[in-house]
A and B are shown apart, each in its own frame.
Chain A
């Protein structure tokens, strides 16, 4: 009753070591950047604030509302945290939440924590904040709608990413996991979106100083908008493709040098299936994927930096 696990936390054992380590790598880079940025811009006062906010996210996850048929709307909070506290602080807060969920409740594994933080902390912050930032300066309704859409998309993208990680690990075939995960989270995401919007409305009414547009604009530059839009586009293009034509995605993945696992003739005997990650193809694939992801990340950050600098000069 006190604590109900959410489906998206991947436990240990479900991802191969290579996939776990790649996502740890990306997560460590992002969290280090977040630490650097919050230290520079916010100072020591923010540390208790972020700690208590992390506890808030944790406690708010206990607020679920019944929808129908015994299911209830769950709250993950990544988008809300990023919108109200700023993207970097949001990433740190979610990192703390996911670490404690794994350490204290064994909800989500330790070795796969990097992947979990990436899915639920970093992606949600990038999408949630990026899309909300896009609507700054627009009408209030539009801003709130963007926050809601961002929260829903963030949940869906996190689910999509978890599916892809499970697929890359050879835990589950793409054509089963994607419809299942996205189907479940389409509903969970609606709950997330509605609670996020309703909470923002409340905060705007009671503490307008925390939600001013100038403050949001200061917390993250246009780089976040670009990052958010790019990641969203990638997810939006990828998910229908992956669920409707998994073979297509697998073929693309193979052409790009990704795993050829899905292309193996269905009944072929694979003598080396016992070596889940040491195989040459798997390793090179994952390295290629990681390189691509890092490149994209680096580009986004560089773009953001240059835009911030331009903004400051103007």
Chain B
């Protein structure tokens, strides 16, 4: 399998792509932080945040709706937030008696629900934008510059590098299972639940031993090529004027959003 299937990086040229990855990480985290800081129901500030996001989409040459299209991933979690509507805060709007439980939606609960959804939706879009404009190795390098422990960043780098190799391994194992449990059309194939569990467990174990042994070979191959416990990159990653400028502009914008959010 090729990296493109999972990797969400968009090969484009733009001002955002060219920014130092550290700047992009800081701005993204700052944006998500700003969303978390905004009080419930501060719609103008949320709208302003969304405009900033649209602008960033445009500057990155992705098209205005790019992150919007991919932002539905957090939607299933909305189920959890629905119960916020029935928080015992604010005025009750109605009483729904379902027999076993009495549901009382409240106005403040409704505001909280929509605020949570908007915050989550904006934050997810920023994260999408970050990985769409930053190559993953650069992202890891940025985290290293931001003083994450090297052990951890190196593990993450290895994870990314071998994810695709092991995914291929999974597909081989799944193909082998399918080949061995063929069934006639219309008839159920495969065994009972216990058999399925045993098979899945063996597949996980098989995958484990294959991965373990592969990591041994990888390590020996890397040692013989001069590995010192650190992954290097060809990108120098130096902050230049435009990086600092973007950082300053973003900080100013986020401050503005906070001011708009808290003044009422």
Min C-beta distance of B228 to chain A, whole Å: 8
Q: How far apart are the CA atoms of A210 and B213 in the complex, in Å?
A: 11
Listed stretches A13-21, A283-291, A295-303; interface member: A13-21
CB pair A47 B84 closer than 8 Å: no
Listed stretches B58-66, B199-207, B240-248, B250-258; interface member: B199-207
Residue in contact with A54 in the complex, picked from B159, B199, B228, CB distance below 8 Å: B159
CB pair A52 B214 closer than 8 Å: yes
CB pair B84 A172 closer than 8 Å: yes
Q: A106: CB under 8 A from chain B?
A: yes
Residues of B in contact, count (CB < 8 Å): 96
CB-CB contacts below 8 Å: B49-76 with A: 70, 73-74, 76
Known: A14-B116, A48-B158, A198-B197. A110 touches B163 (CB 8 A): no
CB pair B155 A203 closer than 8 Å: no
Please name all residues of chain B whose beta carbon is closer than 8 Å to the beta carbon of A264 when the two chains form the complex: 88-89
CB pair B74 A11 closer than 8 Å: yes
CB pair A201 B159 closer than 8 Å: no
CB-CB contacts below 8 Å: B163-202 with A: 163, 165-167, 169-170, 173-174, 193, 196-202
Q: A249: CB under 8 A from chain B?
A: no
Q: B96: CB under 8 A from chain A?
A: no
Q: A236: CB under 8 A from chain B?
A: no
Q: How far apart are the CA atoms of A59 and B123 in the complex, in Å?
A: 26
Q: Chain A at the B interface: mostly helix, strand, loop or mixed? A: helix
Q: B157: CB under 8 A from chain A?
A: yes
CB pair B39 A176 closer than 8 Å: no
Q: How far apart are the CA atoms of A104 and B139 in the complex, in Å?
A: 10
Known: A111-B29, A198-B197. A59 touches B166 (CB 8 A): yes
Q: How far apart are the CA atoms of A95 and B77 in the complex, in Å?
A: 21
CB pair A202 B151 closer than 8 Å: no
Q: How far apart are the CA atoms of A150 and B210 in the complex, in Å?
A: 25
Min C-beta distance of A79 to chain B, whole Å: 12
Min C-beta distance of A37 to chain B, whole Å: 10
Q: How far apart are the CA atoms of A67 and B196 in the complex, in Å?
A: 9
CB pair A110 B127 closer than 8 Å: yes
Render B5-34 as a binary contact track against A, CB cut-off 8 A, 1 for contact. 111100000000000000000001100110
Q: A292: CB under 8 A from chain B?
A: no
CB pair A51 B152 closer than 8 Å: no
Q: A166: CB under 8 A from chain B?
A: yes
Known: A49-B212, A104-B131. A93 touches B155 (CB 8 A): yes
Q: How far apart are the CA atoms of A194 and B203 in the complex, in Å?
A: 13
Known: A7-B76, A172-B81, A266-B104. A51 touches B161 (CB 8 A): yes
Q: How far apart are the CA atoms of A11 and B36 in the complex, in Å?
A: 12
CB pair B36 A16 closer than 8 Å: yes
Known: A53-B215, A104-B6. A60 touches B204 (CB 8 A): yes
